[in-house]
Amino acid sequence: MAGTISALDNAIGVVGVNGNGKLPIHIVKLFGDDGEYAYSSDLAAAVGKCIDEGKARIISMSLGGGTPTQTEKAAMDNALANNVLPIAAAGNDGNNRKSYPAAYDSVMSVAAVDSVLSHADFSQWNDDVEIAGPGVAVRSTVPNGQGTEVQVTLTDKLSGQRGQSNFEAAAFLGSALGNVEGTLYRCNAVDGLGSPGDCDGASGQVCLIQRGSISFAEKVQECQRRGGFAAVIYNNSDALFTGTVEGTGVQIKIPAVAVSGIDGATLESLVGEGLGVFVSKGNYDFYDGTSMATPHVSGVAAAVWSQNPKCKARDIRVLLDYTAQDVDASGRDVNTGYGVVDYGAALANLDCDGKQENCTLKKSGAACTSMSECCSGTCETKNGKKACR
């Protein structure tokens, strides 16, 4: 999460949303060492620490649970009241259930999209989703040596020299490490998806296989069984993706990587050419989740806010909402909210006078159910009815 927000722009690895090294991050430990469980009181206490120290302006929470509590809600409401913007992951169950703290009115709920801005199938969808960010096959920092480095590149089979055409690829969880080169071989799918027997003839070559109904593990096992040196599986959509080949009872002994549908189409045209697949230990890795989308939104919020520290949390929230790139149903929708966070558009429209004159959200006096609907960022009850301030 921290790497997505602020990995340095230093020509190494990845670049965070704020890569200039000027964004301070304060990390509060919430979970135990297993990283799996915490109480709502722990979360409230963590939020309280951020407020009490007086420097936090954004709280980025890549976490959530299915049960709301008054303790959590009070902590989130208190954060916003103290000019701190809480931002949280919408959840990864692929259904319309609400996740908390994301679903509290005072918190921005973040959904995930892939690299072609399509709603991720795992990303929860409901009327609390407010905005979206990149959350599929997102490459970021991990502790030293606990990630993977992947390179897929055309090669000169005669000289062994690497070519100039490289393809972005993610190693499957459970992939073997190794540096292999061979002729690119298209496994002939009986059903167009990848059936057993498809890789007959792949011995000593690199298997190219389309994603489909058969598991990634089965595809890689078929390539391995037929003597293939490595397996490259390409998506059935344009986006990059990740996956696993673990848990099958068969040891995977060859490198196995995923590429986008766009790169897969290119590789289809290069069957018979030399291809190198290089997978090694590294300091970066790919992840999926609304947990990856959340730090993108948090990073943009920080970058925009830093241009005018006099802005209020409500200003920044409204600004990100109405400048988001609309990518799903027109207007606000349950999949991506107002759309994908857009740093350039938000910066161009930065306005912190307490209202947004050009706002596409609801104007003063319009009926509302939550503050995220209003250009002012405030939905108040007057005369028994809720309306934008």
pLDDT in tens, 184-224: 999 986 665 566 678 989 999 999 999 988 889 989 999 99
Range of the domain at 7: 2-140+288-354
CA 177/CA 362 separation, integer angstroms: 54
259: enclosing H helix or E strand: strand 256-259
180: enclosing H helix or E strand: strand 178-186
3-state helix, strand, coil in the chain (%, to 5): 20, 25, 55
Nearest to 149 by CA among 321, 13, 5: 13
Given a cut of 50, is residue 159 above it in pLDDT? no
Q: What is the pLDDT of residue 193?
A: 59
Least confident of 39-48, 166-175, 375-384: 375-384
Q: Are residues 269 and 181 in the same domain?
A: yes
Q: What is the pLDDT of residue 37?
A: 83
Q: What is the mean pLDDT of residues 139-145?
A: 94
CB 319 within 8 A of CB 350: yes
Q: Are residues 188 and 70 in the same domain?
A: no
pLDDT > 90: percent of the chain: 75
Q: Decide which of 189 and 33 is more confident.
A: 33
CA 264/CA 206 separation, integer angstroms: 13
**Residue at which a domain ends, from 258, 282, 306:** 282
Contacts of 220 (CB under 8 A, 6+ apart): 172, 231, 233, 245, 252, 254, 256
Q: What are phi and psi of 292, to 5 degrees?
A: -85, -30
Q: What are phi and psi of 48, to 5 degrees?
A: -60, -40
CB 267 within 8 A of CB 167: yes
Q: Are residues 121 and 217 in the same domain?
A: no
Q: What is the pLDDT of residue 371?
A: 87
CA 286/CA 243 separation, integer angstroms: 10
Q: Are residues 297 and 247 in the same domain?
A: no
Reported as a pLDDT band with limits 50, 70 and 90, residue 158 is very low
Provide the CA 99 distance to its chain's centre, in angstroms.
17
Q: What is the mean pLDDT of residues 148-177?
A: 80
Which residue type is seen at 283? N
Nearest to 100 by CA among 57, 48, 65, 63: 65
Reported as a pLDDT band with limits 50, 70 and 90, residue 156 is low
Q: What is the pLDDT of residue 360?
A: 78
Q: What is the pLDDT of residue 342?
A: 97
Q: Are residues 268 and 298 in the same domain?
A: no
Q: What is the pLDDT of residue 53?
A: 79
The pTM (predicted TM-score) of the whole model is: 0.90
Number of domains in the chain: 3
Q: Are residues 157 and 275 in the same domain?
A: yes
Q: What is the pLDDT of residue 357?
A: 62
Q: What is the pLDDT of residue 194?
A: 62
Q: Decide which of 89 and 194 is more confident.
A: 89
**Residue at which a domain ends, from 282, 298, 319:** 282
CA 246/CA 243 separation, integer angstroms: 9
Q: What is the pLDDT of residue 356?
A: 59
Q: What is the pLDDT of residue 352?
A: 80
pLDDT in tens, 247-287: 767 799 999 999 999 999 999 999 999 999 999 999 999 99
Reported as a pLDDT band with limits 50, 70 and 90, residue 355 is low
Coil, helix or strand for 41?
A: helix
Q: Decide which of 201 and 37 is more confident.
A: 201
Chain-wide mean pLDDT for the chain?
91
Q: Are residues 30 and 65 in the same domain?
A: yes
CA 274/CA 291 separation, integer angstroms: 38
pLDDT in tens, 76-86: 999 999 999 99
**Residue at which a domain ends, from 234, 266, 282:** 282
Reported as a pLDDT band with limits 50, 70 and 90, residue 226 is very high
Q: For residue 168, what is the domain's CATH number?
A: 3.50.30.30
Q: What is the pLDDT of residue 107?
A: 97
Q: For residue 86, what is the domain's CATH number?
A: 3.40.50.200
Strand order across the beta sheet in which 256-259 lies = 162-167, 147-155, 274-282, 178-186, 206-210, 230-234, 256-259, 170-171
Q: What is the pLDDT of residue 161?
A: 46
